Amino acid sequence: MRNFFIGAAVLLALAAGLPALVKVEYYYVLGYTVLQLIILATAWNILGGFAGYVNFGSGAFFAVGAYTAVSLYKLVSLPLGLQVLAGAAMAGLLGLGVGLLTLRLRGIFFSIATIAITIILETVVLNWTYVGGAKGLPILRPTEVPLFDNYTQWLFFVMAVIAVIAVATARYIQSSWIGRGLRAIRDNEGAAECSGVPTLKLKLFAATVSGALMGAAGAPYALLGSFIEPTSAFSLNHAVNALAMPIIGGTAHWVGPVIGAVLLGTVQQVVTVTISSEMNVLVVGVLLVVFVVAAPEGILGLIKKFSGGKK
Amino acid sequence: MTSLLEIQGISKNFGGFTALESVSIDIQKGERFGLIGPNGSGKTTLINCVSGALANDSGSIRFGGEEISRLPAYQRTRRGIARSFQIPRPFASMSVLENLVVPLEYVVHRGSLHTADTRSEAMEILRGMGLADKAETQSNQLSQVELRKLELARAMAARPQLLISDEAMAGLSSNEISEVLEILFKLNAAGITIIMIEHIMQAVMKFSQRVVCLDAGKIICEGTPQSIVQDPGVQRAYLGA
């Protein structure tokens, strides 16, 4: 327990101190991207990995966070911290709402609904002129940067804070009675209910927390590129990444999505820079297929298997 | 003796098929109650309605004097109704011990949680079931009889007043049947009311103080084990004579 928090504090201190050593802005964009993937993957895993309810609509939750932040920024110039909170709140509400509508039913209905939600919300935003509609909306970054040399460094640090909160939340859920209840739901929902687990409440809780974290990840998105438009905000790539990274890393443990996201996020960035930006999607697709077929428990499962074999 | 479970006139239809037709049963505190009937007679539907997996269409179910027929299943478990499943449903990703920690955390120690306590309590229950040496085994590695015992152990971890054992002995050898029977007798001696659903007649006869026979969703006979086997209606239902 204590080790985890010391580790988290050290990581945050490193993120805060990094600008003293590294000046090139690109590295912060890269770091931001990997952190964003860590948050999305960790958030997805709370519902998808722990409880076994697959969300194909991570893009919708991400975009709701992003557009909530953008609209409030445009409206009242809300500071970034509050944008993140507002984005998380809206996406959390969306998770709760979709959950209330579909989680009474078991199995795949939730997954289908998440796809539908993405399409519906994207259509709404495409026609919402206040935030730019289909043309998109250029965003001017605030001129004053708190604490850091430039705004990208500040965004990187904020993202690091959200990532630490996301991972700490997932870790807490996993090790608590909530996590055990979610696992019971994944293993056998009927038996879980008969063991006293309030399955609907727990699923709603997981959907809300998962959605909120995805929304938080999306909130600073527009400020990173100084621009937002619906196609990239709602992109299927968010959903594919959020689902592929936990599956590749391992869904049973909070560290699985982190491993998957760091590994894949780095590979994707390297591929984007050295080969082409289209190629990085292919890398994820191929790896996902390989892992689902050959190592369904992900990298964590492989580690367990090989360390178990040696004993 | 006082009534623990009062089932009054409950019916359940699946589309045009009537699975239960105004079934009424009164079960006394501390009773060993047998529920028999041919396949498809509605036994499992009845206990699904009692445990909350299904909602009855009409009629009332009272447990300890309280109407429970509209409560979700987990609320009924928390009020003291536990069941085992006909086809074992272990939490496959967990160890045997952890399987018991789930109901201990969600029913017995809600709100005040101490991991160490629940583990030792779970261990105690496993010892009573003869599963102590399997505590750390992954539950998908168990044999059939061990799975049945796990079903009962997990049900017991919810500290129920009423235990519904749904065909806990189907497919077991005669030694294993006596083992499970012995466990059930022991639980009953500790004050737990037990409803046993079973096809294995000698087990039901030996165990039950009172037996009800269902056929096509209706009670066709009720009485002591001896009187039941001599009932012409029961013989017709079972033997088709």
- Asked if pLDDT for residue A154 goes beyond 90, the answer is yes
Query: What's the pLDDT at B114?
Result: 57
For residue B89, give the nearest of A180, A188, A252 by CB distance. Answer: A188
Token pair of A236 as six digits: 């299927």
Residue contact B103–A195, C-beta within 8 A:
yes
Residues of B in contact with A196 (CB under 8 A): 74, 77-78, 102-103, 106-107, 158
- Test B74 with A181 for CB contact under 8 angstroms: no
Please name the member of B72, B85, B93 whose beta carbon is closest to the beta carbon of A191.
B85
Whether A253 maps to a domain, the answer reads: no
Mean pLDDT score, A243-262: 94
- Residues of A whose CB is below 8 A from B74: 193-199
Q: Nearest C-alpha of chain B: how many angstroms from A200?
A: 10
**Between A177, A197, A252, which is nearest B74 by CB?**
A197
Residues of chain B contacting A181 with CB distance shorter than 8 Å: 102, 105-106
- Do A183 and B94 count as a contact with CB atoms less than 8 A apart? yes
Per-residue pLDDT for A311 more than 60? no
The answer to whether residue A28 is domain-embedded is yes
Question: Does the residue A242 lie in any domain?
Answer: no
Q: pLDDT by residue (tens digit) across A63-114? A: 999 999 999 999 999 999 999 999 999 999 999 999 999 888 777 888 999 9
Q: How far is A189 from chain B (nearest CA, A)?
A: 9
CB–CB contact B92 A196 (8 Å): no
CA distance linking residue A234 with residue A243, whole number of Å: 15
Q: 3-state SS string over B169-219?
A: CCCCCHHHHHHHHHHHHHHHHCCCEEEEECCCHHHHHHHCCEEEEEECCEE
Q: Which of B54, B71, B89 to mutate to test the interface with A (most CBs of A within 10 A)?
A: B89
Is A46 part of any domain?
Answer: yes
What's residue A282's pLDDT?
85
CB pairs below 8 Å between A and B: how many? 79
Contacts of B92 in chain A (CB under 8 A): 187-188
What is the reported pLDDT for A104? 80
**C-alpha pair distances (Å), B51 with each of A103, B2, B29, B38, B92:** 21, 20, 17, 21, 22
Query: Are residues B113 and A200, on separate chains, in Cβ contact within 8 Å?
Result: no
Is the residue at A81 inside a domain? yes
User: By residue range, what is the domain housing residue A140?
Assistant: 2-235
Most B CBs within 10 A among A50, A106, A180, A195, hence the mutation to make, goes to: A195
Binary contact (B90, A187; C-beta < 8 A)? yes
> Chain A residue closest to B53 (CA)?
A190
The predicted structure's pLDDT at residue A149: 84
Q: Give the number of domains in chain A.
A: 1
Distance CA A310, CA B195 (A): 48
Average pLDDT over residues A257-271: 92
pLDDT band at A310 (very low <50, low <70, confident <90, very high): very low
Cβ neighbours around B72 below 10 Å, total: 16
CA distance A49 to chain B (A): 12
Average pLDDT, integer, range A185-202: 95
The dihedral built from the CA positions of residue B143, B149, B153 and B155, taken in this order, carries a sign that is positive
The whole-angstrom distance between A106's CA and the closest CA on chain B is 13
Average pLDDT, chain A: 92
pLDDT of the residue at B239 = 67
pLDDT string in tens for chain B (241-residue length): 589 999 999 999 999 999 999 999 999 999 999 999 988 899 999 999 999 999 999 999 999 999 999 999 999 999 999 999 989 999 999 999 999 999 999 998 887 655 567 889 999 999 989 899 999 999 999 999 999 999 999 999 999 999 999 988 888 889 999 999 999 999 999 999 999 998 888 899 999 999 999 999 999 999 999 898 888 888 888 766 5
CA distance A295 to chain B (A): 16
Domains defined for chain B, CATH in brackets: 3-91+159-239 (3.40.50.300)
Cβ-defined contact of B77 to A191 (cutoff 8 Å): no
Q: What is the pLDDT of residue A206?
A: 97
Q: Which residue of B has its CA nearest to A186?
A: B91
State the average pLDDT over residues A110-123: 93
Q: Which of A1, A194, A300 to mutate to test the interface with B (most CBs of B within 10 A)?
A: A194
Q: How far apart are CA B71 and CA B68, in angstroms?
A: 5
Residue A177 domain-assigned (yes or no): yes
Inside any domain, residue A289 = no
**Residue A146 scores a pLDDT above 80:** no
The contact set of A with B (CB < 8 A) is 177, 180-181, 183-184, 186-188, 190-200, 252
A27 domain residue, yes or no: yes
Cα–Cα distances in angstroms (integers) from residue B125 to residues B128, B132, B148, in the given order: 5, 8, 14
- Helices B115-129 + B96-103 axis angle, to 10: 110
Say whether B94 and A187 touch across the interface (CB within 8 A). yes
How far apart, in whole angstroms, are the C-alpha atoms of residue B213 and residue B200?
A: 13
A128 pLDDT tier (thresholds 50, 70, 90): very high
Summarised one tens digit per residue, pLDDT across range A2-58 is 788 898 999 899 888 888 888 888 999 999 999 999 999 999 999 999 999 999 999
Nearest CB among B89, B106, B113 relative to A197 is that of B106
CA distance A122 to A236: 11
How far is residue A158's CA from residue A69's CA, in Å, rounded to a whole number? 14
Separation between Cα atoms, residue A303 and residue A308, nearest integer Å: 8
